[in-house]
Amino acid sequence: MRLVLWPFLILTACSLAPRRPPALHDFGPPPAETHSRTQVVVTAPTWLQDRRLRYRFLFADPTQVRFYADHRWIAHPPALLQQRLSALLNSPYRLRVELHDLEQVFDTPNRSRVVLRFFAEVTASEGQSLGSRFFSLEKVTSSADVHGALSGYAELIEHAATSLRAWLESIHAESQAPARTRATNSETGIGRAKK
């Protein structure tokens, strides 16, 4: 009887053993030089306010969303993105970001990409909209697994910050153009009333 019970006891002990907690991740070490001038707010739909890392197989069941069992974001992706963009951007304007997509997609079992899509709107301090734009960014991962996805996300966020920085600078230049034109006209006498 004792010999019969041993396999059962072993299986029971294994099933009751505590499971190792998932590894926690973010977008990598913070930049050495950070900024806090830009007011950034990132929102996302409910299904993206999930700490699990998402992926999908485009070559099989492309509509099924899958998750890595042993890996989690340390915070919800919108919060992580907001923190990183606030640190990387330096602009006098307010930036509102709507996160639309953040996931790893597999084109084949051995090839994957990380995808980041979001809508951004820039407003002045008084609330006036200065422009809006949709961004769609992606990067081929160095390896078709969770580690490739994590390193790809870190680079993709840097790319997003660079794209946003260039866009914000162009908006700032356009907003300053009328003031420069008025100053030039004043200096040259253009527009002055004739005596």
Tell me, what CATH number does 114's domain have?
3.40.50.10610
Phi, psi angles (nearest 5°) of residue 19: -85, 140
Place of tokens 């008084």: 126
DSSP-derived 3-state class of residue 111: strand
Residue 6 lies in a domain: no
Tokens of 109: 């079992």
- Whether 62 has a pLDDT exceeding 50, the answer reads yes
Say if strands 111-123 and 129-140 run parallel, antiparallel, or are unpaired: antiparallel
Question: pLDDT tens digits for 41-54?
Answer: 999 999 999 999 99
Residue 182's pLDDT is what?
A: 45
Give the amino acid at 79. A
- Per-residue pLDDT band for 38 (boundaries 50, 70, 90) equals confident
The percent of residues in the chain predicted with pLDDT above 70, rounded, is 80
- Terminal-residue alpha carbon distance, the chain: 118
Question: pLDDT tens digits for 142-178?
Answer: 999 999 999 999 999 999 999 999 999 999 998 876 5
What is the pTM assigned to this prediction?
A: 0.80
Residue 135 lies in a domain: yes
Residue 165 lies in a domain: yes
| Mean of pLDDT values over 122-138 | 93
Assess contact for 82 and 94: CB atoms under 8 A: no
The total domain count for the chain is 1
Residue 176's pLDDT is what?
A: 79
Residue count of the chain, please give it.
Answer: 195
Domain that holds residue 158: 21-188
Residue 15 lies in a domain: no
Lowest mean pLDDT among 17-31, 63-77, 102-116, 124-138: 17-31
Tokens of 189: 């006498």
Of 25, 24, 27, 35, the closest CA to residue 159 belongs to: 27
Phi, psi angles (nearest 5°) of residue 82: -60, -45
Residue 12 lies in a domain: no
Tokens of 129: 């909209």
